[in-house]
Amino acid sequence: MKPLLMKPMFLSAVLATGVIALGACTPADTGKAEAPTAPVTDITPTAAADIPDAVRAVALATRPGMIVSEAELKEREGRRYYDVEGTLNGAEIELDMLETPQGWQVVEIQRDIPWAEAPVIVSGAVQAQRAGFAPVRVIESTQADDGSVIYELFAEGQPDTPAVEVRVRNGRAEILKEVWPH
């Protein structure tokens, strides 16, 4: 077997050339704009016992009888959020809360429901667009700002992104063309 003495020198030359070449080609030189960077979200898991009293009070006032199990503090772009998770009557529930100058406010309430419990207006809208579609998971998200309810419908083998989202507002169901911002 031949000694590999030349390889480190060769690699250094390649890396140096690559760095120079990469440094010479910038977005300004190519006329392409740099892609915007996504806001950084700092996430701090929080045990049930460590959830601030003010957050717990708002959660329990919103859903009396909720048994809080855990939470996550999320900080992004100068805003603070808490995702408070637990159960209510044995079913999992999550309250998304935002810290405002007036205190903590619930902005969204999420829970899993069986597809059979989705309102007829939702299943009818889905069947009109995708006949025969039967989701394997349904998340019902009540929006505090306008009272609408978003139904996120997940297909078999696609657990991360809803296959269909339906918004119910003012007695009407609408299939969303874009993913609802959470």
| Model pLDDT for residues 26-36, shown as the tens digit of each residue | 444 455 566 67
Chain mean pLDDT for the chain = 83
Beta bridge partners of 167: 150, 174
Q: What is the pLDDT of residue 39?
A: 82
The counts of H helices and E strands in the chain are 4, 9
Question: Do residues 168 and 119 touch, judged by C-beta distance below 8 A?
Answer: yes
Question: Do residues 107 and 143 touch, judged by C-beta distance below 8 A?
Answer: yes
Mean pLDDT is lowest, of 10-24, 57-71, 95-109, for: 10-24
Q: What is the pLDDT of residue 7?
A: 32
Q: What is the pLDDT of residue 10?
A: 31
Instruction: Tell me the C-alpha distance between 81 and 147, whole Å.
Output: 20
Mean of the pLDDT values across residues 47-55? 96
Instruction: Tell me the C-alpha distance between 77 and 80, whole Å.
Output: 9
pTM above 0.75, yes or no: no
Q: What is the pLDDT of residue 26?
A: 45
Percent of the chain with pLDDT over 70: 78
Query: How many other C-beta atoms can be found within 10 angstroms of the C-beta atom of residue 56?
Result: 17
Helix (H/G/I), strand (E/B), else coil: 109:
strand
